[in-house]
Chains A and B, each alone.
Chain A
Amino acid sequence: MRRHISLYGLTFSLPLLIWQLLFFVFPLFFLIALSFWTVRNFRMEPGFDTVNWVTMYGRPIFWQAYGTTLALAAAAAVLTSALAFPCAYAIAFKLSPAVQRWAVFLMVIPFFTSYLVRVYSWQVFLSDAGIINVMLGWLGLGPFRLLNTVGATMIGYLTLSLPLVILLQLFSLIFVDRTLIEAAHNMRCGRLRTVFAVVIPSARVGLVIAALFSFILCFGDFVSPIYLGGGDPTTLSILITDTTKSGQQWPRAAVIALTMIATLLVIAFLSVRFAYKGREK
């Protein structure tokens, strides 16, 4: 019987295993190998040379870009989670099931359009002669520099991750045990205290995973920093394109990419550990 279950399990997990091997494990090993190759006359030469690691880790710009990217992605994850929570909470606890379904549908709609198009359309709002500045002009204010700023990059990050974070938060809030909330109310807990003492701890795993997804998406994003941030400050994704554009330094770009992957793995591990802390008891 055990043998049958194992075969059954293997049969159904095999496609996933093959998929992961083909599209994650092998490319990852290739990326590691590539980071030790060298480039001569725009041609990559296989070998084992640590020069790319030494060069990239020895450049202040790399660490500046690393710190900037980390800070921007973390800020985006916190901001997105904070903005998403009231929305997800309202949908989960205040709306009828029918309206909830419509709300979820509306959340999914942004995914039907290209992220690049959505980011480009923000330029129409944020440019000096854009809609926001024109409206501020009617009030005798501005024009303010909105485009090509860190704030504009952050708006792009929110555009990218907010709908997904709301959905993930929503799915975790829906499964919060309602009896706990009623018990809190019976014990004269106010609404705000109930949220912080009962709802958030109960939905902690989903909320942390949602924030993690936001961080992952923003950490590797290239579109918003370029088209809304004007490429300033340099993020790791911009540094990768700069590195490959000049002299075809793909091995150096591999060093940046591997550092990004390692960072995301560590952040994901710590986040999941925090999310499930105390759950195994």
Chain B
Amino acid sequence: MTQDERGRHLSMSRRTALSLGAAALATPMLSRRAFAAPTQLTMLAWYGHAEPDIVAEFEAENNVKFVPKYYTGGDNMLGLISQSPPGTFDVILSDAEYVQQLNAAGYIEALDPADYPFDEFFPEFHRFPGHWDGDTLYSVITRFGFLGVAYNTDALTEAQASTYDVFWDPALQSKVGHFDWHLPNLGQISLLNGNASPYDIDAAAWDGVKEKTMSLRRQIGGFFDYGGTFSSLNNGQMLAFAGIGDWITGTLEKNGAKVRSVIPEQGGLQFTESFSIGKGSSKAELAKKWIQYITSAKGQAKSAQMAAYPCLIPNEKGWDVLNAENPQEAARQGMVPGQSNAMDMIRSGRIKYRQLPVQQSLEEWNDFWSDYKSA
């Protein structure tokens, strides 16, 4: 205590050094919670579902980092899961027709319906076909859309595009494109042939679909993947498109392209996307939290405006949030309550669910699609 100036100085210096050292060592311990590495949540989905415009808020609130694995179709998705060890994917986005197969193969966990905001959903989506096995829920619907005729507004009027027959218009020879997936295209031809259940058709009706489809072949300018469909519609290379809907034209239209989609008089197809939790996921609680977030009114409004491709949403309260946030987009997609809207199309029976073929094998439909492409 009787240290001289130099000693005090040295003593202070030592104390300061010790304090600084202790603080430096303690800092990571004290701040570990604040700066912990984010938990990685793997998501298997169509492109766009784990992009920042959708997941950034959830990631920040829950210290999560999504690791996406994007696929380009239901078969592709099933293939990726079947070739991965159990637990590889925490969250799985699937089109409705593939949920049953995911469940049959044991790839997804059973869910508790009470965990999700079904009371906010339109009644049509409370027990969506294929999502339930008896009273057990396996997947929660998050968005949907309609497939009809996509067309270039400079080349065709809405009235002209309001029938699938427009694809056979001689003026459109080599200007009709196909989204290269047999299910939506053949389903549309089946609707045109007057099949009330477009995917549940007998052998004679199936032959009719094949014959009608073949008669379209000379009109076709190409078969396009996701990117090719975007570019060929955007640059006017294709003036009409089969097998798609607003999920592609909506994005283009919002960016100024002269394209739109219309549900033709013969009816349209509905595709549906839903989230499941992967079997064996070690982060099932977090996965559940994500599904709760994206199916909540707030998450739904975000999902309806997803940058990669917009969609309709099943949460009625989500419609309210969307109308408050972006009334123009709500009106564009037909999600304004109290007006003629997307739900009316479903309720009037103009829209049929897209399904896997019922009386034929998926392989049979695909083999025909290959034959058609090379004809």
Could you list which residues of chain A lie within 8 angstroms of chain B, going by C-beta atoms?
Answer: 41-44, 59-61, 64-65, 123, 127-130, 145, 147-148, 226-227, 229-234, 238-239, 242-248
Contacts and interface: CB of A to CB of B under 8 A. Distances in A.
A148 B362 contact: no
Contacts of A238: 373
A242 B370 contact: yes
Contact of A242 (B224, B235, B237, B373): B373
Interface in B242-257: none
A123 B230 CA distance: 13
B82 A42 contact: yes
A232 B82 contact: no
B197 interface: no
Nearest to B104: A41
Nearest to B373: A234
Q: Is chain A's binding surface mostly helix, strand, loop or mixed? A: loop
Interface residues of B, number: 35
Contact of B73 (A42, A65, A145, A245): A245
B243 to A, nearest CB: 13
Contacts of A129: 235-237
B237 A246 contact: no
Interface string B331-375: 000000000000000000000000000000011001101110110
Interface of B: 72-73, 75-76, 78-79, 82, 101, 104-105, 174, 177, 180, 182, 220-225, 228, 231-232, 235-237, 362-363, 366-367, 369-371, 373-374
A247 B225 contact: no
A247 B82 contact: no
Contact of A248 (B78, B220, B236): B78
A10 B23 CA distance: 61
B79 A232 contact: no
Contacts of B78: 42, 248
A56 to B, nearest CB: 11
Contacts of B220: 232
B236 A232 contact: no
Contacts of B101: 41-42
Nearest to B374: A234
Contact of B237 (A41, A44, A64, A127): A127
Nearest to B76: A245
Nearest to A232: B222
B363 A246 contact: yes
B373 A232 contact: yes
Nearest to A147: B237
B236 A128 contact: yes
A248 B79 contact: yes
A148 to B, nearest CB: 4
Contacts of A243: 370
A226 B228 contact: yes
Contacts of A64: 374
Contacts of B224: 230-231
Contact of B222 (A59, A65, A148): A148
B235 A127 contact: yes
Nearest to A239: B370
Given A42-B78, A145-B221, 20 more contacts: A41-B101, A42-B79, A42-B82, A42-B105, A44-B82, A61-B370, A65-B374, A127-B235, A128-B235, A128-B237, A130-B235, A148-B222, A227-B228, A232-B220, A234-B370, A234-B374, A242-B373, A243-B370, A246-B75, A248-B78
Contacts of B374: 61, 64-65, 233-234
A25 B143 CA distance: 47
